[in-house]
Amino acid sequence: MTMLTVYKQLLRLYPAAYREQFGEEMLSVFLDLSADNAKKKPFTRTVFAFREIAGLVRGAVGERLRIVPGRESEFSISTRSFTMRNGFRFPKTTAVLMTIILAGVVVAIKRGEEIAASLPHSNPQIGPIQPVHSTLLPPIVLLSVTFYAAGFIGWAILFALRRSGVHRLETSGDSK
């Protein structure tokens, strides 16, 4: 029995809706990885096979437990990787990290207000700040236009010759 047959059989462990949505993609990724591993040592291929089988079974069990009716919590065993789910939007830590960032911004504003309140007010008010025009933008635009023009000229020459650099390399390799 080939590894592909085993993989297809193990895909059946996933719920039908999950297989319908992600099955072809999972199979395609597996085929790509298998092609990359085909030229490697037997031990590496064996490790790859066990890793794929374990990952597939672990993912299927996690997905089955996730859809159990009346179950509110996530699968508690760490899968050490993402599992594709319908409706997946953000990692679980996004809300926590956003709260920490918000708290940091609030603390920074409070400290800034405290510093401003502690400064003596004997200094005269500073007038409005005048905008400064950028001196960096025109050279960047000029440099970009120059490079695009050089690329267009090169493309036009190759197009006129109806030969790209790849074709030139192929024909020069054939003449040896």
CA distance 99 to 87: 23
> How high is the pLDDT of residue 29?
86
Q: Give pLDDT, residue 85.
A: 55
- Please name the helix (run of DSSP H) or strand (run of DSSP E) that holds residue 76, with its range, or none: none
Asked whether 18 and 63 are in contact (CB, 8 A), the reply is yes
134 or 75: which leads in pLDDT? 134
- CA pair distance 82, 37, nearest whole angstrom: 22
Higher per-residue pLDDT: 3 or 140: 140
Tell me: the pLDDT tens digits for 88-107?
566 777 888 889 999 999 99
pLDDT band (50, 70, 90) for residue 17: confident
Residues 105-153 pLDDT 10s? 999 999 988 888 887 766 666 777 788 777 888 888 999 999 999 999 9
